[in-house]
A and B are shown apart, each in its own frame.
Chain A
Amino acid sequence: MKIARPVTLITVALMTLSFGFTGCKKSPAKTTSLLGPGPGKGIVGDERSGPSIGSAPAQSDHLPAITEATAAAPTSLQTGEGLKQPNGDFAGWIEDVSEFQDQTVYFEYDKANVKPGEIDKLKEVARRMKSSFQGKALRIEGHCDERGTEEYNRTLGDRRAQAIRELLAAEGVNPGMMPTLTFGEDKPADPGHNEAAFSKNRRGALVLLSPPSNSRAQLTTGLGESSAPRNPE
């Protein structure tokens, strides 16, 4: 595009008029601050209506109910796939993090296989689950150190929890009573930024779950609010 000479006065006037029209639309501000009363920051009005932030979400959202669940029967490992997750939700079950604290499984960097030296821990867990903790469940939580990116670590932590679960199932623990959780790098055991801390964070933690009524195991139904994830002590 070549500009040989300045734009004439008439064209300038026309352009000003047309730009004036396109620029003049005002859209009403629909932003409600979630942070309570106070000056609304950054209320942006422009030609297009941008996304406005609504009020804080109500507790009962449009979430379909979880269907009533029963403990899944133990299944053997299927070729090419892992063990299916239990259908039920263990919300409201009582957590005991100390029972198997010494059996926390540690992993190599970027690996999800349980090292041979860690397997005895899981044999111990299986033995106690079968002998002393009939009717209780075991939540397996997979964690990572910070040297992976966040969503990659979410998968890695997940894979670590699955590896532990499969070994425990092979030792006879009911997989239907072993829900897993991945936390990626969200909840380090040690907040340090060195290998000593990292090696403590690459872990699978085992949490014993007791049914709330202390009677025969019943999995909750509906939208029970579970306890918020605990902060590391």
Chain B
Amino acid sequence: MKRILVLAFCLPVVCASLAQASSAAEPFNIDLIRRPNSLGFLEPILVHVTGLSGEADSALKNDLLFMGVVHKSLDEAKFLINANAVGGRAEARVLEKTTKGQYHEAAFTASTQRAAVHALSDSIAKALTALPNIGIAQTKVTFKVEPSRGRSEVYVTDFDGYGPQAVTQDNTLVSAPCWAGKGTLVYSSYKLGNPQIFSHVLSTGSRNAVARHPGNNYSPAVSPDGRRVAMILNMNGTPNLYVSSIDGSGLKQLTRNRHGDACPSWSPDGQTICYVSRAGGSASLYKIPASGGTPAPVRTTFAPSPTEPDWSPDGKWIAFTAQVSGFTLFIVRAEGGEAIQLVPGEDPSWAPNSRALMFCRGPDHSKQLYLLDVPTKTVKPLARILESNSQPSWAK
């Protein structure tokens, strides 16, 4: 009898010691979970989210997905995210799954629960990936909407498609809206007959001229510092590449040819412009110094007729559309080379984290916007507004 009692007492003590020992002997190493893939993107970090429901739950999981953190079953996850959202407050603790060691904790309060959840998502993603620029949950996108055939307007929405709002009501055609910083848009509008380029301050609705030259003014692209605009102008007879200050002053013609150029896109350091040239009779990508100089080709092997280039904010990649049995998205290293095929779609715009991008897909005049996580090729549609949504541009 006594022997059994002694054993019963010893066992729990032994077990407790074993547990202590295992936790001390195998410390958790986050570096083993943060692994870059062959292209340099982080492999997804797998988590299991609990404690949220409805919109808060789907918003958080969607946010995390495009920042490289993916909700999975408890078995597959490496981290637990125990979250809670009440009123305008959202909070979470991030625990390592096996040891239950707390890795991160955050709480946010905002005027809407959705906003608090987005701030929380950014905080969690930054903690898990250790990438300072990963946070995109609080960003916005501008794009073109066709309410009906023959008419288009500029809209702005949260990156996940929530809360779209019309910015223009001109009952004309617009094209290529893009951002100058986070508070101003630049776009081309046919409001005054020929296409002209305007800047539009969102908080006041006031507009200023960027380019109202004779002929056609279109395809604006704002430099990353918000000070200059590259654009296509046909004032001298052929659509060629020009740059000016955002107020329109200091106009400089960068290309001069008879075949026509299209689709300018700035490098993140503002030194170089990538664009489409029609030299040789079909589309190909070129680069030219933003201050002027000699254009140089950008090879996109395996991707014919590249158009609509968009340079990633980290400078490493150029995303673009090519024609491979329909429009297909590709990325190529910024110096050119073998292009990497992504998914069907057109007109990519990088997220500020250089990991996700937004694009559109669909028959003409019936297009829809989609989000893409580039390394996993995960695609999620945005809700379509009215007849057609295209030409997304992600605020950086």
Chain B interface residues (CB < 8 Å from chain A):
23-24, 27-31, 88-89, 91, 96, 99-103, 105-112, 114-116, 118-119, 123, 130, 138, 140, 149-150, 152, 156, 158, 162-163, 165-169, 171-173, 175-176, 182-183, 190, 192-195, 198, 200-209, 212-216, 218-219, 232, 234-239, 256-263, 276, 278, 281-283, 305, 307-308, 321, 323, 327, 346-347, 363-365, 390-391, 395
Known: A3-B27, A46-B115, A186-B152. A154 touches B209 (CB 8 A): no
Instruction: Flag if A51 contacts B110 (CB, 8 Å).
Output: no
C-alpha spacing A35/B386, complex, angstroms? 14
A2 at the interface (CB under 8 A from B): yes
Can you report 8 residue pairs joining A to B where beta carbons are below 8 Å apart?
A12-B105, A48-B138, A50-B138, A62-B206, A85-B237, A151-B307, A151-B308, A185-B364
| Minimal beta-carbon separation of A14 from chain B (angstroms) | 10
A97 at the interface (CB under 8 A from B): no
Instruction: Flag if A148 contacts B307 (CB, 8 Å).
Output: yes
Closest 6 A/B residue pairs (Cβ): A42-B163, A82-B237, A45-B111, A85-B215, A226-B193, A54-B205
C-alpha spacing A82/B364, complex, angstroms? 31
Within 8 Å by CB of B205, from A2, A45, A55, lies A55
Instruction: Flag if B96 contacts A61 (CB, 8 Å).
Output: no
Instruction: Flag if B263 contacts A2 (CB, 8 Å).
Output: no
Instruction: Flag if B30 contacts A6 (CB, 8 Å).
Output: no
C-alpha spacing A173/B365, complex, angstroms? 36
Instruction: Flag if A82 contacts B138 (CB, 8 Å).
Output: no
| Minimal beta-carbon separation of A159 from chain B (angstroms) | 4
Instruction: Flag if A51 contacts B281 (CB, 8 Å).
Output: no
Chain A residues near B96 (CB, 8 Å)? 3
| Minimal beta-carbon separation of A96 from chain B (angstroms) | 16
Chain A residues near B395 (CB, 8 Å)? 51
**A interface, size bucket:** 35 or more
| Minimal beta-carbon separation of B231 from chain A (angstroms) | 11
Q: A33, A44, A52, A159 — which one has the most chain B CB atoms within 10 A of its CB?
A: A44
Instruction: Flag if B150 contacts A229 (CB, 8 Å).
Output: yes
Chain B residues near A12 (CB, 8 Å)? 102, 105
| Minimal beta-carbon separation of B255 from chain A (angstroms) | 11
C-alpha spacing A191/B24, complex, angstroms? 69
Task: Give A180-222 interface residues, CB cut-off 8 Å to B.
Answer: 180-188, 191, 193
Chain B residues near A43 (CB, 8 Å)? 111-112, 163
Within 8 Å by CB of A186, from B116, B138, B173, B206, lies B173
Known: A156-B260, A223-B192. A84 touches B235 (CB 8 A): yes
Task: Give A29-58 interface residues, CB cut-off 8 Å to B.
Answer: 29-31, 33-35, 41-48, 50-58
A16 at the interface (CB under 8 A from B): yes
Instruction: Flag if B27 contacts A2 (CB, 8 Å).
Output: yes
| Segment with Cβ contacts to B, from A86-94, A114-122, A126-134 | A86-94
